[in-house]
């Protein structure tokens, strides 16, 4: 399969309004444990059982995959996470397949620098909306991958 050619990540080249892509994620035990471990959580709903019927994932678990969709489209190198909004609607249960739809919804210049806003909606295999997020980044930095 031919590798997707990534676009240059600059204020001029990012296209607002387009759907960046969809990503299917199956919530595995390993994903839950790794995510919970990274934020030092041993919450029993993640590791044992929850009132929702079975284990659930930490609600912020889809942040990585959201950025990955951006990185599949653009050659991103150096951006700063500036704002984050979440709405949690339903639990992401272990074993469920969840589809993330990611869009670039806004770009603007503030204090002479470019900013982008990316929105994600996560829906599980039963059509249940799990969460949505809004991620705002400052685009440029002198060097280094930041997120």
Residues lying near another protein in the complex (CB under 8 A): 34-35, 37-41, 43, 45, 51-53, 56, 58-60, 63-64, 78, 80-91, 128, 141-147
Please say which residue, 15 or 69, places its beta carbon nearer to another protein: 69
**Beta carbon of residue 17, minimum distance to another protein (angstroms, whole number):** 22
**Beta carbon of residue 55, minimum distance to another protein (angstroms, whole number):** 12
**Beta carbon of residue 146, minimum distance to another protein (angstroms, whole number):** 6
Please say which residue, 20 or 31, places its beta carbon nearer to another protein: 31
Contacts 24+ apart (CB under 8 A), 34-39: 35/60, 35/61
The SS3 assignment for 29 reads helix
Please say which residue, 15 or 129, places its beta carbon nearer to another protein: 129
Report d(CA 17, CA 105) in Å as an integer: 5
**Beta carbon of residue 66, minimum distance to another protein (angstroms, whole number):** 10
Please say which residue, 37 or 95, places its beta carbon nearer to another protein: 37
Contacts 24+ apart (CB under 8 A), 27-30: 27/57, 27/61, 27/92, 27/93, 27/94, 27/95, 27/96, 27/97, 27/98, 28/94, 28/95, 29/55, 29/94
Instruction: Centre a 10 Å sphere on the Cβ of residue 90 and count the other Cβ atoms it contains.
Output: 16
**Beta carbon of residue 63, minimum distance to another protein (angstroms, whole number):** 5
Please say which residue, 26 or 85, places its beta carbon nearer to another protein: 85
Contacts of 42 (CB under 8 A, 6+ apart): 36
């Amino acid at each position: 399969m031919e590798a997707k050619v990534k676009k240059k990540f600059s204020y001029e080249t990012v296209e607002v309004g387009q759907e960046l892509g969809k990503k299917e994620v199956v919530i595995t035990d390993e994903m839950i444990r790794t995510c919970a471990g990274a934020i030092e959580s041993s919450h029993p709903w993640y590791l044992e059982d929850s009132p929702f019927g079975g284990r659930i994932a930490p609600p912020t678990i889809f942040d990585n995959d959201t950025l990955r969709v951006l990185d599949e489209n653009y050659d991103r190198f150096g951006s700063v996470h500036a704002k984050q909004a979440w709405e949690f609607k339903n639990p992401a249960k272990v074993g469920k397949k969840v589809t993330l739809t990611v869009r670039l919804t806004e770009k603007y210049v503030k204090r002479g620098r470019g900013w982008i806003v990316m929105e994600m909606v996560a829906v599980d295999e039963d059509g249940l909306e799990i969460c949505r997020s809004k991620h705002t980044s400052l685009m440029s930095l002198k060097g280094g991958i930041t997120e």
